[in-house]
Amino acid sequence: MPHTEFIATGFHVPERVVTNDDLSRMMETSDEWITQRSGIRTRYWVSEGETGVSLAREATCRALDRAGMLAADLDCIVYCTCTPDHFEPGNGVFLARELGLRDVPAIDVRNQCSGFVYGLSVADAWIRTGQYRRVLLVGAEVHSRGLDRTTRGRDTAVLFGDGAGVAILGPTDDPRRGVLTTHLYADGRHAEKLWVDAPGLAHDPFISEELIREGKHRAVMDGRDVFRYASVLMPQSVATALQANGLTPADVKLLIPHQANLRIIEMVQKTAGLRDDQVYVNIQKYGNTTAASIPIALHEALDEGRLARGDVLVLTAFGSGFTWASAAIRW
């Protein structure tokens, strides 16, 4: 049975850079307040005419160029997002249309910040079984249009950015390389700790002026509980991935955690017993791009020469649901 290897990556963010000082002119906040609590200094927000699919298309084109491939070489799309362009259908089919693909299956994965690792697990299973050979795995988000950019919403509005990261995956017959294992978890007891209540068909009608007036269409987060659980469950998932493959923290060349909050990343690093040079951090530039954060970080890490053939890479993520996940990969 083949393993799944990363053939190429790509990413794209909007041109518009939003600094903490920019946000201080929209709401009661400051650069110091945001930086101390999150580590974020800038993020990218879309402008008119840009969508999640347009960001994903640009990222995909860059990955195809790196791989020396055509869009027609892809035989499946796994599109991870919690900010779809439309209520339905999923963004995957719109991306397929943008790429000129017909009859190519497209599936959307809605697991928020954990989405890319969940999507990787799905793609890995399909490639291992031979169902598909060239899978485009996408993480793309447009948060900015759904944020409450007032003081009322500052606890979440200052955190999120827009962007897209993709990976082209394929089979390798080398049993020592590729995706070794993935580990997925969920605990719905905490679903309302980080959620967007509407639009949704639990409401009748599923969207209304009243729901909008009450802010039900905005993200609501219990930041304290998110921090508390993420700081424990992410390093636990890292330990599980290492133990499943007979590895130790010393074997890890690079950990790419979901870029949610610098303090969470530091807690994960400390608990996992990793050095600074073993953990990739770019949240200061992009903010929290949920499903896009890991593939964007992976692309930058590769460009910086942080991974070489044979290195051990670990991914870990935590998001609303609560959901969390990890993956062990030998590059």
Distance CA 236, CA 64 (A): 35
User: Which among 20, 183, 288, 299 is annotated as catalytic?
Assistant: 288
Active site residue 258: yes
CB distance 225 to 162 below 8 Å: no
User: Of these residues, 113, 143, 183, 261, which one is catalytic?
Assistant: 113
Active site residue 113: yes
User: Which is the catalytic residue, given 76, 258, 261, 299?
Assistant: 258
| CA proximity to 274, closest of 256, 296, 298, 299 | 256
Sheet of strand 76-80: strand arrangement: 3-12, 163-172, 135-141, 76-80, 106-109
Q: How many residues does the chain have?
A: 331
* Residues assigned a catalytic role: 113, 258, 288
